[in-house]
Amino acid sequence: PNWAQCRLVTGSEDLMEWYVRMVAQRHPATPILLFRGTLSVLTATDLDGLAASLAGRVHAPLVFVPRELEDEDWIDGWRRTHDAVLPHLPIRRGPSRPVVTGFCLFRREGDEIGNIEELERLCAAVDLPAPVWTLDGRSPSFPSVARRAPRIVFPFAGDEAAPTPGRRVVRVGLPIGLRNTCRWLETLGDAFGRKRAVGALVDRERTELERLLLPFVTNVLAGKGASVVADPWTAAALVAAARELGMGVPLAIVLRRANAPDLEPGALRAAGADEVWIDPDRDEGADRFRSLAERRLGDVVVGSAVVRDEAERAGLPYLEISGPHRLEHFAAPTPYMGFRGMLRLAERLGNAVGQREFQRRVAGRTRGP
């Protein structure tokens, strides 16, 4: 809400209550999340108490998301939100469909929703139990889950991913790229007794995908350089996918605070990145992009758009994957996960690299001898 100076002393709980009641009246039964801004932390606004006092008095679930004034970044904030929401999922009786946790949906557009649809397609193809997706962007309400439902835990999960007695936890990586998608399916196949069916599906999908990818690799992508900018897990997966497409990865920029306990730069180097930078200054990134472009080691940048301006000033085209986004949008399903996502990723990389090569040739003809 808007703040007035007097509320720094008198508090803002009454104003927040008015807002909550108004939103609940306009959107009945839709969950309302209460987030702490920096000022509300400094003034000790009792949002937790407000949510508790209004529970049952407004016709909407109220979720308080805590925050402390400490060295946190967007991944920490996402995890706080995720872990605050999970206890509010309605409990239902019936079959224990596995619950997906720790899957970060960056926006409600065709690329991100397309990822979920592609992963659901793969699960259905081998008769894996249809998972319940939390925070999947397709419904404003919380899905109902069985109390002891197994959890399929993606890398963004925080404290909630800790083992719980009586509940099975299946940890998976991000299925970006060919090998990562195969590992994702094989992990689920082992966990839910569909190992043989997964093996048959992987063989079929790989054969078809490799046939379609071959022209992109041999004619456009092989030997080109792709720099990656993303969170630790998306970055590692994108590096591996680029290497599978015959590309070098001269630089991987990781968007995570440098003192985070979950950083594993070694995973990025093992995936094939030549250099790994953790949360560098923008000027450093700009200088490095220029150097890569001038030495013909960089042809494209893929990942979060936070340094898109710096890359394009260096003459490098940009593919936006993971947030924040700036210029690219998708109305139709355009995944970058799963087997179909790998094909889409190759298409987008191929078009970007082809455009870059064309611009170089035009520039060369314009300069003349």
pLDDT (tens place) for every residue of the chain, 369 residues total? 555 555 555 567 888 888 899 999 998 888 999 988 777 777 777 888 989 999 888 988 899 998 876 788 999 999 999 999 998 898 988 778 999 999 999 999 999 999 999 999 999 999 999 999 988 888 878 889 988 899 999 999 976 555 566 788 999 999 999 999 999 999 999 999 999 999 999 999 999 999 999 999 999 999 999 999 999 999 999 999 999 999 999 999 999 999 998 898 888 999 999 999 999 999 999 999 999 999 999 999 999 999 999 999 999 999 999 999 999 999 999 999 999 999 999 999 999 999 888 877 776 666 655
Q: CA–CA separation, 200 vs 208, rounded Å?
A: 13
Cβ-based neighbours of 77, under 8 Å, separated by 6 or more: 67
What the block records as the tokens of 107 is 């926006």
pLDDT computed for residue 163 by the predictor: 59
Q: Which residue matches tokens 């790994």?
A: 276
User: For residues 247 and 271, is the Cβ–Cβ distance under 8 A?
Assistant: no
Q: CA–CA separation, 345 vs 82, rounded Å?
A: 28
Q: CA–CA separation, 158 vs 172, rounded Å?
A: 14
pLDDT computed for residue 112 by the predictor: 96
pLDDT computed for residue 368 by the predictor: 56
Closest CA to 240 of 327, 160, 180, 169: 180
What the block records as the tokens of 245 is 């497409």
pLDDT computed for residue 2 by the predictor: 57
pLDDT computed for residue 21 by the predictor: 93
Per this entry, what is the length of the chain?
A: 369
Alpha helices in the chain (DSSP H): 7-10, 13-26, 38-42, 47-54, 74-85, 110-125, 178-191, 195-216, 232-244, 265-271, 282-294, 308-313, 338-367
pLDDT computed for residue 28 by the predictor: 86
Q: CA–CA separation, 32 vs 255, rounded Å?
A: 28
pLDDT computed for residue 321 by the predictor: 97
Greatest Cα-to-Cα distance within the chain, rounded to the nearest angstrom: 78
* DSSP label of 161: G
Sign of CA dihedral 234, 235, 239, 242: positive
User: For residues 256 and 263, is the Cβ–Cβ distance under 8 A?
Assistant: yes
Q: Which residues of 202-234 are buried (b: 16+ CB within 10 A; e: fewer)?
A: beebeeebeeebeebbeebbeebbbbbbbbbbb
pLDDT computed for residue 7 by the predictor: 57
What the block records as the tokens of 44 is 């000790």
Helix, coil or strand: residue 35: strand
Q: Which residue matches tokens 């000022």?
A: 39
The identity of residue 341, as a single letter, is: G
Closest CA to 257 of 39, 70, 37, 104: 70
What the block records as the tokens of 104 is 């970060």
